[in-house]
Amino acid sequence: MSDSIRERRPAESAVAPQTNLAAGVEVIRNYLATLPIGPGVYRMLNGRGDALYVGKARNLKKRVANYTNPAKQPYRLQRMIAETVSMEFVTTHTEVEALLLEANLINQLRPRYNVLLRDDKSFPYILITGDHDFPQIVKHRGSQKRKGNYYGPFATVGAVNRTITALQRAFLLRNCADTIFQARSRPCLQYQIKRCSAPCVNRIDEVAYDDLVDQASQFLSGRSSKVQEALAKQMQTASEGLAFEQAAAIRDRIRALTQVQAHQDINLAGLVEADVVALHQVGGQSCIQVFFFRAGRNFGNRAYFPAHGKGLDAPELLNAFLAQFYEKHPPPKLVLLSDVPSERALAAEALSIRAGRKVQLIVPQRGGKRRVVDHAAANARDALTRRMAESASHRRLMEDLATRLDLDAPPERIEIYDNSHIQGTSPVGAMVVSGLNGFEKNAYRKFNIRQKDAAGDDYAMMREVLIRRFTRALKENPDRDGGSWPDLIIIDGGRGQLSVAEEIFADLGIDDVNLLGIAKGPERNAGREHLYRIGRAPIMLEPRDPVLYFLQRLRDEAHRFAIGSHRARRAKAMTASPLDAIAGIGAKRKKALLLHFGSAQSVARAGLADLEAVDGISRTVAQKIYGHFHEDQ
């Protein structure tokens, strides 16, 4: 895509901060004289330069002109116009390019007034590697840079793990790392339980192993019937030759393949590679269910609850969802939809460009494909019903919490803080967030403690975390209007930790955030927690009080996240090398140094001449390494 990026700004008086609708309209109107009539993408910006909205247009001038008549816009967009103080534009060659760029920018900038997908996690795949003589079968998530064949996506990690286990039983492929493979001198447990053919110790030759790999690839590509027919013939031949143990082993492999096919909720003959996308809306809220069919089998489903204004109809919502969802995930050949998107032809063309082949968007009206879509729509309805019930219960708990703590209003955003370390090593502070709809995991933050004297001191660690969090918050959002400012802060600790928070907030001039400390009671028994508030006596709630359960769940989530972050940092520290701290020493040079000297300690003791003798280490690099370990010289 060859886009020309242009930033246009009207007169200085027009871009001064405005808070009313008329001023926003005037800001937009000042751009019209210089706007082109071709396709492109536009961005509405607020006074801080944050993107309020990203949109695409076939005719930029005509599309932007619509915003100068706010009476025809829904209330949500009227608020957006009132907040707009400037705009930015990107012109493109075609409307399809504009649609692709719009989806990219929405996922990157997360504008407040766009339809936003809350869950942007990547899906897991099965990878059969292609960079080793004896390929391994592994679970993979993330960018597909490693050489090999990828199969998926799967909706959940559990589905991938179950499938890999069954495939190991069926095709006896290894799942061990290459380093473990090279170091084996005898078969491992996987061989003993008949999940691996032990190529590491030559229990199978390369030709026979390649045949197993080929069978697994065929099965995952949808040619399972051919594989099962071939195995059935092999079992029959072995049985007729009186090789009953071999026949029994092949029989077990066939059973394993049947198990993979049995782990499906719904299947449809002829649906080889497709996604089923179904939408259900009620009460201004939406749920979109996506079912993944690959190799003729159902690989699971996932529910999405996009954030959007109440007035958005199904065609527009589906159109926005398809653009954002497939901006991060490769589209299949066929997408079955419950409703017709507002720009189906344009969306299909954009997805085809992204996939590098034709992608069809179909809304089936009858037959088996319609039944699959109806099944997905029923799942969307049930998921939305559960979510709305949970949301209503959560809001009631927020209201009860406000009553118990004598707050002015139910909190809309709660931040919970906790620390984790082991005798001061790898100290980590953690923040989790609970909003109106439950935990907001994309807002979680971890803080690697930087001050060495704070490690092991819970008060000092909490002090550093709160200072870093709210100093940055005041700098980035001094007006506190972006929904990222808490109404209530919960500290895992008693009066001491609460006093630290009170002192920090006084220093920063923050006096409108409620503080609460939760300390476990005698013998640290859950259910006997003391709740500490500033300037008030501590209170205890009844052991079966729903509000107490709610607070315990908040605290436990912060504790879980803090411990997980600490363990990840500790594991990274255990595998760290002194060579990692030297600029210019990448993985290749690090490997060469360790192979030559045997350890990082030997590298540190080596002289300049010895370092220069290592393959790939020039005199300049050798001097850098020597200087790193001998700064005093």
Q: Is the confidence at residue 494, as pLDDT, over 60?
A: yes
Higher-pLDDT residue of 339, 48: 339
Residues 94 and 161 in one domain: no
Can you give the pTM of this predicted structure? 0.59
The mean per-residue pLDDT over the stretch 133-149 comes to 86
Residues 546 and 601 in one domain: no
Q: What is the DSSP string of 371-403?
A: HHHHHHHHHHHHHHHHHHHHHHHHHHHHHHHHH
Asked if the structure places residue 119 within a domain, the reply is no
Element spanning 368, H or E: helix 367-405
The residue written with tokens 């000092």 in the block is 460
Helix axes 244-262, 224-240, angle to 10 degrees: 160
Mark whether 430 and 377 lie in a shared domain.
no
Mean pLDDT computed over 418-428: 80
Q: Are residues 296 and 362 in the same domain?
A: yes
- Looking at 14-23, 225-234, 504-513, which range is the least confident one? 14-23
Place of tokens 């995952």: 220
User: Among 289-303, 348-362, 365-379, 407-421, which is the least confidently predicted range?
Assistant: 289-303
Total domains in the fold of the chain = 5
Mean pLDDT of 280-286: 84
Q: Do 203 and 131 belong to one domain?
A: yes
pLDDT at 12 over 70: no
Residue closest to 88 by CA, chosen among 5, 13, 12, 2: 5
Q: Among residues of the chain, what percentage have pLDDT more than 90?
A: 12
Do 425 and 547 reside in the same domain of the chain?
yes
pLDDT at 574: 62
DSSP 338: S
Residue 522 main-chain phi, psi, to 5 deg: -55, 135
Domain's final residue, options 230, 262, 294? 262
| Cβ–Cβ < 8 Å for 84, 48 | no
- What are the residues whose beta carbons fall under 8 Å from the beta carbon of 422, sequence distance 6 or more? 566, 570
Verify that 80 and 194 share a domain, yes or no: no
pLDDT at 144 over 90: no
* Cα 375 to Cα 368: distance, rounded to the nearest angstrom: 11
Both tokens of residue 287?
């749920």
Confidence grade of residue 47 (pLDDT, cut at 50, 70, 90): confident
The confidence band for 15, taking pLDDT boundaries of 50, 70 and 90, is very low
**Which ranges in 148-243 belong to alpha helices (H)?**
157-171, 178-183, 189-192, 206-220, 224-240
User: Order of strands across the sheet with 274-282?
Assistant: 297-304, 285-294, 274-282, 334-337, 360-362
CATH number at residue 29: 3.40.1440.10
**Within a domain: residue 567?**
no
Assess whether 590 and 528 both reside in one domain: no
| pLDDT tens per residue, range 454-469 | 666 788 888 999 999 9
Residue 111 has pLDDT above 50, yes or no: yes
Answer whether residue 264 shows pLDDT above 50: no
Q: Answer yes or no: is 395 within a domain.
A: no
Indicate whether 99 belongs to any domain: yes
Question: Is residue 16 very low, low, confident or very high in pLDDT (cuts 50, 70, 90)?
Answer: very low
**Domain co-membership, 505 together with 439:** yes
Q: Is 268 part of a structural domain of the chain?
A: no
**Is the predicted pLDDT of residue 2 greater than 50, yes or no?**
no
* Per-residue confidence (pLDDT) for residue 268, from 0 to 100: 58
Q: Which domain holds residue 613?
A: 578-629
- Among 234, 262, 290, identify where a domain stops: 262
Is the model's pLDDT at 344 over the cut of 70? Answer: yes
Over the range 614-626, which residues count as b (16 or more CB within 10 Å of their CB) and which as e? beebeeebbebbb
118 part of a folded domain? no
Checking if the pLDDT of 415 tops 90, the result is yes
Reference 597, options 572, 629, 574, 552; nearest CA is 629
| Final residue in a domain of this structure, among 109, 139, 161 | 109
CATH code for position 600: 1.10.150.20
**Judgement on whether residues 129 and 103 belong to the same structural domain of the protein:** no
Q: Residue 351: inside a domain, yes or no?
A: yes
Residue range 136-158: mean pLDDT, rounded: 83
Model confidence at 383: pLDDT above 70: yes
CATH number for the domain harbouring residue 494 = 3.30.420.340
Look at residue 117 and tell me whether its pLDDT is greater than 80.
Answer: no
**Whether 286 and 209 share a structural domain:** no
269 vs 82, more confident = 82
The answer to whether 461 and 455 have CB atoms below 8 angstroms apart is yes
Q: Please identify which residue in the block is written with the tokens 């840079």.
A: 145
Query: Is 406 among the domain residues?
Result: no
**Average pLDDT over every residue of 390-403:** 84
601-616: pLDDT as tens digits? 788 888 888 888 888 8
Q: What is the pLDDT of residue 526?
A: 59
Query: In this structure, are 457 and 347 located in the same domain?
Result: no
